[in-house]
Amino acid sequence: MPRRSTSSRTGSSSGDPSGPRNRTPQPLPRRRRSFGDFVKAFLAFVALVVLLVGVPYALAVTIGWPFPDGSPSLDWLQEEITVNTFLGVLGVVVWIAWAQFTACVLVEMKAALSGVGMPGRVPGAGPSQLLARQLVAALLLVGATAASLTPGLSQLGHSMDQNQKGTVASAQATPGGSLSGVFAQQQEQAASTAAALGRQAADAASHAEVGGPSVKAEDTKYYRIQPPEGRHHDSLWEIAERHLGDGRRYGEIYQLNKDRVQPDGSRLSEASLIRPGWIMQMPGDARGGDLVEMPGTGTSANTTASEAGSTVSPQVAQQISQYAQTGDHAQKAGGGKQGGTASLDTHTTRISLPQQRPATGSQATPAVHGEQQAATPAEATAAEADAGFSFGLPEALVGAPLLAAGLLGALGRRRRQALWQSALGAVGGRRGMEPPTPTGAAADAQDALMIGADPEGVRLLDRSLRGLAASLAGESRPLPTVYAAWLSNGDLHLQLAQPAGKPPAPWQLGQDQTFWLLSRTDAERYEDVDTAAPYPGLVSLGTMDDSRLLLNLESVPGIVSLSGSESDRAAVFASVAAELATNGWSDRMTITLVGFGQDLTPLAPNRLRHLDDIEALVETMEAETRQRRGALGAAGHDSVLTGRTGPAQHTRWAPHLVLLAAEPSADDAVRLAELAADASRLGIGYLVGTESGDLPGAAWEMEITGEGKLLAPLLGLELDAQVLPVAQQRAIVELFVNADPESTPDGPTTTPPFLVDISEQGRPAVYARLVGPYEIIGLGTPDGERSPLQHEALAMLLLHREGVHPRVLSSALWPRGVTDDVREALLDRLRVWLGNDPDGTPRLATDANGRLTLAKSVVSDLDVLRSLYHEATQGRGVDSRVVRGRLLTDALALVRGPLLADRAEGRYGWLTHEIIDAQLPLLVADIGLALAEFHLVKNRAERAIEALAAALKSAPADERLWHELLRATHSTGDMDKLQQVAADLIGRSGARGVPPRTEALLDELLPTWRDGTAAVG
């Protein structure tokens, strides 16, 4: 588990004390028994006597024993129900409650006195067992040790909601017992640390230097487990607290002695199960008079009793000498703190890099889960990324595939929302449907997003996680706690907090029991499932050896601190905030930003929340922590992970992630540590910035360097950090603000981005038909194998008359990556295919910004459609009814179906980022409505119906078209035809039913429509 290195305790010069650390905060001095403890113990004794003896005595005297005098008979059911009957039933209920509470007291007393294992759970007890635990803890506190009792429960005055975490309490009572996994230990440590910080923060600094000068690395120390004295049983926690200055270091002792043969022939297999007379090898910095020191790092077999010291008998010295011979394997594994060097053990949290599997088949191409390699990998430093660019585009965005996919998807949704608001909710008529074309830095940012985004990787990651959750729920298994996810060589690796058994198929065990692996081939077989996102707190931090790390912020047992310069920290915080706000593998969450990010809220106003100061944050999180504890207790869940697989999975347990960029004061840090102690099971995560790197209560510590490296040595991490520098932040925010219809009074523009000459003299040299099946007029057909790529490239250029960056084009055509020479060869063939205009001007050119543009002589039917509608409604058609009717009729005649109706499966994936699929149906609907209105003015209802029916072929879901079709049909007086239109409309509505406005219109025009629906049903 995370802890300070020994150098920070002993003053050893090894290591850099100022460097980033991953540790549990320093231990605090043990609290002496006070007069208040004795008062609490006395009151607890009185309460137990009253509840265990007084209650049954009172019941026996007033109501009687619960057992019947004789055997029951059917006559009882025929007796009159009186007040005594109710009193008797009530008495039985009270007797049952008393028996249950008595069982709870016995269970808690046994666990507290034995000091072995964790208390059993009495079925249905809940609050009764919690009360029993508090009373027993208070009673035994004055005579028991910290290892025998749960520290958090010794505070009898604590509120009920502060003692909801039964599993944590058990882990504290028996460190390393059945809950000896890393996650349970770190939760226990975070909880006890926060409580200690709250009580004795002033003593923490002085106690941090426990241990004195460095010891000699060549001296090996041993300890002999002492027999119990009264209620006190020796434990590894007590031993570590006495001799290492920190009970939380018991794991080091456990690792040094695990599975070694003891004098009685048995072995240490669980940290909580030790026996008197056993020998324990101790870390090199152990201190204390009852230790036995053996000279030499590997005590040989001929070590004599005199060499072992005079404090033990010759028999014990001989046992120690024999035991030392079994320790070579432990010492070679680095099992102790020798000379101030931190040991590595299985209890130390390490976010390990998964073992790489050789790529085969389709995985040989650089198509990693979330790893978009259509462009060169992002290796620029954070400082260079702020001002530096790769091929003219921001590299920070190009090299962040999951972040880019999330931002691009959210931007597309925002633009579609603005489009529909403009079409259906505008006051005083339509405001247009063309979002403003980005320019300058915003255009570069958009291009970088399109190049870097890996929507397929995001889709597979989301399906894989939800599929795992569904499989576990089907097996009635809880979600395992996941610390991190690695995306590597096309595979998804989940690193668990502790082993959780065999994963459900098609998942496999990875390099060890804490890794679950899913290959990309298996992930592609997953389909969408209706289950809650299990790990919405995963967020990208960076890459290591071509593997991308996503850290699960809500699972960290405490605070994650980030040190470094203010600007470097801000870039990391912005990247984390932006990805959490827009990622595709979460449903709902709250992200609270403090000290930065006020301008980031346009990215996701429903998710991002900005607070002005830490005081407001603490107040907010105290209230939410209480509410979540109470909600979990009421729902009977141990953590949010169990809640996410239950029936309320879609309405509860969304994570709340706090990103605090400003360094908190000492008092605020203590308060945050107290809040974060139990946060991981509540679905709350804390990422806190610090200038110095020393933050009280921090469980995991990271540092961002000026070279763009994210370091966490004791986590085992050295990443190329994912950052979002200030320049890119502003450009991204500009894209989102411009897409918001409320940002400007005018909303989207009414002028198409490209107008063509619709007169006879304006015939284009190359004409592409995109609305319906794809056809090209004016060009020959390219070679068979190359034709699809060239057609797709031309379609993209036609839909982006403002220009397309070559890298954007290549990433659209080859989502899995392509070399520069292949891209350039395609562009050369495209230039040759399009040719030149009669004056020699190439029809495919490059503008001053390096973007590919088409000549005005290359036109699509979509360009003509937009131009005709614009001319009919804002040009010559405004003053001439005849011209307007002709232009609208010509426009509707161009509509042959949806955009690129015959596109091949697997191609044109880049259209998912576009809004043209939403724009085209609205444009066709507008044309149909305008033409229908044109005919209805002259009472030509049949012509209006024809126009509306033609528009519905391309825009079948547009409610406005159906409304006008109903009105036009009603105006003909043909009720049978009106009934048929109503039936078609109801049939298209499906399970969603008829929209309210449509239902009201049907009630007005066809009051009997419900009868027809019922008859059909």
Average pLDDT over residues 496-508: 91
Compute CA distances 153 → 132, 139, 141, whole Å: 11, 11, 10
Whole-number pLDDT of residue 350 = 66
Higher pLDDT, 1012 or 365: 1012
Whole-number pLDDT of residue 526 = 87
Whole-number pLDDT of residue 66 = 66
Average pLDDT over residues 631-648: 73
CB atoms within 10 A of CB 358: 7
Cα gap 122→105, rounded to integer Å: 10
Residue 658 reports pLDDT greater than 90: yes
Which of 164, 177, 163, 168 minimizes the C-alpha distance to 115?
177
- 354, 489 contact by CB (below 8 A): no
- Tokens 């009729």 correspond to 889
Minimum mean pLDDT among 338-342, 609-613, 878-882: which range? 338-342
Whole-number pLDDT of residue 645 = 66
Q: What mean pLDDT is reported for the chain?
A: 76
CB atoms within 10 A of CB 72: 8
Give the tens place of pLDDT for each residue, 227-253: 776 546 677 878 888 888 877 788 788
Residue 343 reports pLDDT greater than 90: no
Minimum mean pLDDT among 282-291, 341-350, 434-443: which range? 341-350
Band of the pLDDT at 69, cuts 50, 70, 90?
Answer: low
Residue 161 reports pLDDT greater than 90: no
Compute CA distances 574 → 580, 660, 669, 734, 878, whole Å: 10, 11, 22, 15, 49
Cα gap 279→266, rounded to integer Å: 11
Band of the pLDDT at 652, cuts 50, 70, 90?
Answer: low
Whole-number pLDDT of residue 91 = 77
Tokens of 881: 């009814």
Residue 281 reports pLDDT greater than 70: yes
Cα gap 714→864, rounded to integer Å: 63
In degrees, to the nearest 5, what angle opens at C-alpha 123 toward C-alphas 117 and 124? 130
pTM of the prediction?
0.64
Whole-number pLDDT of residue 271 = 63
Whole-number pLDDT of residue 844 = 95
Whole-number pLDDT of residue 407 = 94
Secondary structure letter of residue 743 according to DSSP: S
Average pLDDT over residues 344-355: 58
CB atoms within 10 A of CB 265: 6
Give the tens place of pLDDT for each residue, 381-427: 333 333 334 456 788 898 899 999 999 999 988 888 887 776 665 43
DSSP string for 464-496: HHHHHHHHHHHTT-PPPPEEEEEEETTEEEEEE
